[in-house]
A and B are shown apart, each in its own frame.
Chain A
Amino acid sequence: MLSQIVSALGVVVVAVFACSAYFYFSNKILDLALPVKDGGMRAATRNLNRRAMIRPWLFLGPALFLLIVYLVYPVIATLILSFYDRSGSSFVGLANYQWAFGDREFRQSILNNILWLAVVPAACTFFGLVIAVMTDRIWWGNIAKSIVFMPMAISFVGASVIWKFIYEYRGGNDVQIGLLNAIVQLFGGTPEVWISVPFWNNFFLMVILIWIQTGFAMVILSAALRGIPEETIEAAVIDGANGWQIFWRIMVPQIWGTIAVVWTTITILVLKVFDIVLTMTNGQWDSMVLANLMFNWMFRGGGDSGRSAVIALIIMLAVTPIMVWNVRRANRELGGN
């Protein structure tokens, strides 16, 4: 074990060194190959221009390489694979797409995904906003914020264990050790195996993601709320608006842009969510979502690259409008600079 720590640290040093060496030496070589000191004025100017043309690409090189190999190429390759059979060797046209829309499990996943998309981003944004407004008004607000923000640091798998313990069910007359069932019992209800109740189990899984992501929404919305000019609120107070009206009519409209950012960020996350469903139910009891279905088809029975590619593309398609909107927003920002 100690040897692994040592070798891991060694690798870190080597990797960082190699990375720095690339940037250092590639720039050095460029300077040596295109000298500006000797060779006269014209040659110097020419070399200076050439340097300016090449250097950005030295800086961008590794990043571009990684982006193209790991993100751009796979998008194209997945698109092509979706038209091929399970091993990716013979062309089958639209057969995989036809399969997808006829498959019960696939339709179930789409429905569940829509359910997740409808509930989780809305709930996170709403709770985040409410908590941000309330914690900004009390002296121990920052401590409260830290606690709500804390689950952001916990892995989805860790969070799943935490919540599985809350949903734990004991049969017969055993004492319930899961908090939820204990509370249900306290109020005279019957304990249930919550994660295996079809349809409703989706909500029990969503609670986990809401628990994790509300802190993120809260932090960003809280910053936006602080940016609202005091005068607008003061004016509303003078005009006799109550707290509720100030919140909905004055504050919310002014941070509408930020609310949209938070909403879309969580939407993207929801579409990719995989770990929670895998660890809690593995898609059983009608709780399958697209990301898990894709993972299953990728590895189940040796894997079916055609069908999993179709599912990946559907996820991609669902994200595309958000991507377009993001690019537009960034361009606007650039234009404003």
Chain B
Amino acid sequence: MTLSARFLKIGPARLFVHVCVLLIVIIWLIPTLGIFVSAVRDKDQIVVSGWWTAFAGSTRTVAARLGTADQQKQEGATYVISGNLLEGQDGRSLKAFGTRIQQPSAYQAGETANLGEGLSLQVNEDGTYRYMKNAAFTDDDAGRRVYVAVSTPPEFTLQNYKTVLTGEGIGQSFINSLTVTIPATIIPILIAAFAAYALSWMEFPGRALLIALVVGLIVVPLQMSLIPLLRLYNMVGSAFDVPSKTYPGIWLAHTAFGMPLAIFLLRAYIAGLPKEIIESARVDGASDFEIFVRIVLPLSFPALASFAIFQFLWVWNDLLVAMVFLGTDRQHLVLTGALNALLGSRGGNWEILTASAFVTIVVPLLVFFGLQRYLVRGLLAGSVKGG
């Protein structure tokens, strides 16, 4: 089948859908792509050309100096100073040249420029030049400044990453983020799973009210909690003579803020487990604790995994809670905080910003693409049910 025949089989409507989706995918990818490409570019190149030209190479205008009068050679009636303006710069080529800063690329490479007063200059693409005069060069016209447009092949480097990981405190922040995130992901799952089990399978007065409370608390804005909690933390801190901004403090905060959604999602799942299994275990004399650990926990693995991914992404990407409960000093700064600080202090240094941004998003992206299926399952368990 020829290509056009295949197109005809697809039909214009289907083709339109394909093109639209392709366009959307490109629009959604491009912003992130810009960061990825820029982060491995040479820092001088980032500022002179757009990242989308990175693969095409770039052209830069630089100043160079011609040889001095003592290098001149006589060739018949003319005197010549020759040499190479691209000495020691492999792989680059010269596109144009000029002698005045106002017109740095007045002449094409290979052209012979007539500079007046019997002077002429020829510069070739490989950088070699012939500077000629119909009389002997004096010190006045030798050693002249010229401008050349040099095209550079695409250059990629890992230097930016090296800089941010060692010099800008991003390495330290990376560890801090892990220190915050891992306990703040595991602890809430355990606590919420027990609570979700109690709310699904244990009979006690006030159960419906508690479920309503949990659902209601899902939407309490975080901002609401900040001031009273800061005061509480300071009080506890001064009462026990410990600093108020600590890792346990932020673990508990993240655990609590993730709790309503965790209980809500896990309860939806655990309540849906087959009644017969739990009843028959009870008849066999298993206690609730045993039922939970031996039966409910293993069966709920998909739900636990999906919530874990959620909580991980949420904690890793959080800025507000970390700023308030862990502070913004260098020792405790998490990645998002470090990136935010860099935006303020190194706003124009895109090689620093792009490499740092990549470091902050690489872990969540790995988690995301590795465990996407579970994440989607969790989203659907919570949101579509009853919707």
A residues with CB within 8 A of B: 1, 4-5, 8-9, 11-12, 15-16, 19-20, 23-24, 27, 31, 52-53, 55-57, 59-60, 62-64, 66-67, 69-75, 77-78, 81, 88, 131, 134-135, 137-138, 140-141, 144, 146-166, 168, 175-179, 182, 211, 216, 219-220, 223-224, 227, 243, 257-258, 260-262, 265, 268, 271-272, 274-275, 278-279, 291, 294-295, 298, 305, 308-309, 311-313, 315-316, 319, 322-323, 326-327, 329-334, 336-337
Q: Determine how close the nearest CB of chain B comes to the CB of A313; give it in whole angstroms.
A: 8
Q: List residues of chain B with CB within 8 A of the CB of A146.
A: 369, 372
Per-residue 0/1 for B259-288: is the Cβ within 8 Å of any A Cβ (1 yes, 0 no)?
110011000000100000000000000011
Of the candidates A27, A53, A182, A337, the one whose C-beta lies within 8 Å of that of B287 is: A27
Q: List residues of chain B with CB within 8 A of the CB of A59.
A: 194-195, 197-198, 202, 288, 292
B256 near A66 with CB under 8 A, answer: yes
Interface of B is mostly: helix
A157 near B313 with CB under 8 A, answer: no
Stretch binding the partner chain, chosen from B65-73, B84-92, B220-228: B220-228
B252 near A279 with CB under 8 A, answer: no
A326 near B25 with CB under 8 A, answer: no
B135 within 8 A of A: no
A312 near B354 with CB under 8 A, answer: no
A64 near B195 with CB under 8 A, answer: yes
Of the candidates A66, A151, A223, A278, the one whose C-beta lies within 8 Å of that of B32 is: A151
A150 near B28 with CB under 8 A, answer: yes
Question: Could you list 12 further interchain pairs (A-B, Cβ under 8 angstroms) beyond the known A175-B49, A326-B219?
Answer: A5-B178, A8-B179, A62-B191, A77-B228, A131-B24, A134-B20, A158-B317, A219-B376, A261-B387, A305-B231, A312-B227, A323-B216
Kindly identify, within residues 97 to 124 of chain B, every residue whose CB is under 8 Å from any CB belonging to chain A. Answer: none
Q: List residues of chain A with CB within 8 A of the CB of B31.
A: 159, 162-163, 165-166, 211
Q: List residues of chain A with CB within 8 A of the CB of B339.
A: 155, 157-158, 161, 279
A74 near B228 with CB under 8 A, answer: yes
Q: List residues of chain B with CB within 8 A of the CB of A326.
A: 215-216, 218-219
Q: List residues of chain B with CB within 8 A of the CB of A60.
A: 194-195, 198-199, 210
| 27 A-B pairs with C-beta separation under 8 A | A12-B183, A23-B289, A27-B288, A55-B202, A67-B213, A67-B260, A70-B252, A70-B253, A75-B225, A141-B21, A146-B372, A148-B28, A158-B360, A165-B354, A179-B30, A219-B379, A220-B383, A261-B383, A274-B223, A275-B340, A279-B340, A315-B223, A323-B216, A323-B219, A326-B216, A331-B212, A337-B271
A155 near B386 with CB under 8 A, answer: no
Kindly identify, within residues 183 to 197 of chain B, every residue whose CB is under 8 Å from any CB belonging to chain A. Answer: 183, 186-187, 190-192, 194-195, 197
B136 within 8 A of A: no
B223 near A15 with CB under 8 A, answer: no
Q: Report the interface size for chain B: residues with CB under 8 A from the other chain.
A: 115
A177 near B368 with CB under 8 A, answer: no
A156 near B319 with CB under 8 A, answer: yes
Interface of A is mostly: helix
Tell me the complex Cα distance, A53–B223, Å.
36
Shortest Cβ distance from B337 into A: residue: A157
B14 near A137 with CB under 8 A, answer: yes
B361 within 8 A of A: yes
Tell me the complex Cα distance, A274–B316, Å.
16
Tell me the complex Cα distance, A243–B186, Å.
47
Of the candidates B29, B49, B222, the one whose C-beta lies within 8 Å of that of A177 is: B49
A224 near B211 with CB under 8 A, answer: no
Q: List residues of chain B with CB within 8 A of the CB of A161.
A: 35, 339, 343, 353-354, 356-357
